Homo-oligomer: A and B are copies of this chain.
Amino acid sequence: MDERPTIAIIGGTGDLGGGLAWRWARAGYPIVIGSRSAEKGAAAAAELSASLPAASVTGTGNAEAARAGDVVVVTVPFAHQTPTLEAIAGECGGKIVVDTTVPLIPPKVARVQLPPAGCAALIAQRLLGEGTRVVSAFHNVGAQHLREDHEVDCDVLVFGDDLEARAEVARLVEAAGMLAWEAGPLANSAAAEALTSVLIGINKRYGIPGAGVRITGTPTRGR
């Protein structure tokens, strides 16, 4: 893989996808924004290009974006995870797919409601098939922090069964300006996915707009 793979952001018109697109575009990665509507994808790309004139950003439909990406990042609500992955599965063979899905089930989004499969990341792996290198990440980052021009005060836990793919995604996390922790197999994604509901509850209870998490006890990693 080239040092700067093309990153497709599926659901890239949303807050999380848009924020990641902005950070990676700024870091010099070619970006393809995918949307269910090719027009909306193109419009989001035009807007991002306007704010980062030096960046390479295009926009299109989700499947076409997945086809164009070397790495495919899926940033859609839980309710859209299955249809979205089914729509792009044919374009993802052999690729790294970064699933960011958190199993929030409205209206009780502050209540942990893990799916029977264990976690959303395992649903993604099942839908995409074994030939696709699924990694999960970015569950706990408040999307509003991504568009701010400073370090994000939240670590990113990265899960995957394919160790090479997981390490590659950890590098992409750091390229986006966050500290990445390789945090075990895909099944461990349940921890970060569940934690998001806890953070939403803490936001409400303590009046914090975007609580995050940091791993502590780590002098060797610069904290």
Question: Interface on A for B, CB 8 Å cutoff?
Answer: 110-112, 114, 118, 142, 153-154, 157, 181-185, 187-188, 190-192, 194-195, 197-199, 201-202, 205-218, 220-221
Q: Is the CB of B191 within 8 A of A207?
A: no
Task: Name which of A118, A153, A218 has the most chain B CB atoms within 10 A of its CB.
Answer: A218
Measured between beta carbons, the chain B residues less than 8 angstroms from A110 are 184, 188
Q: Is the CB of B187 within 8 A of A112?
A: yes
Give the oligomeric copy count.
2
Given A188-B112, A215-B213, are A220 and B195 also a contact pair (CB < 8 Å)? no
Measured between beta carbons, the chain B residues less than 8 angstroms from A212 are 215-217
Given A111-B185, A183-B202, A184-B112, are A154 and B190 also a contact pair (CB < 8 Å)? no
Q: Is the CB of A201 within 8 A of B183?
A: yes
Q: Is the CB of B191 within 8 A of A194?
A: yes
Q: Is the CB of B211 within 8 A of A214?
A: no
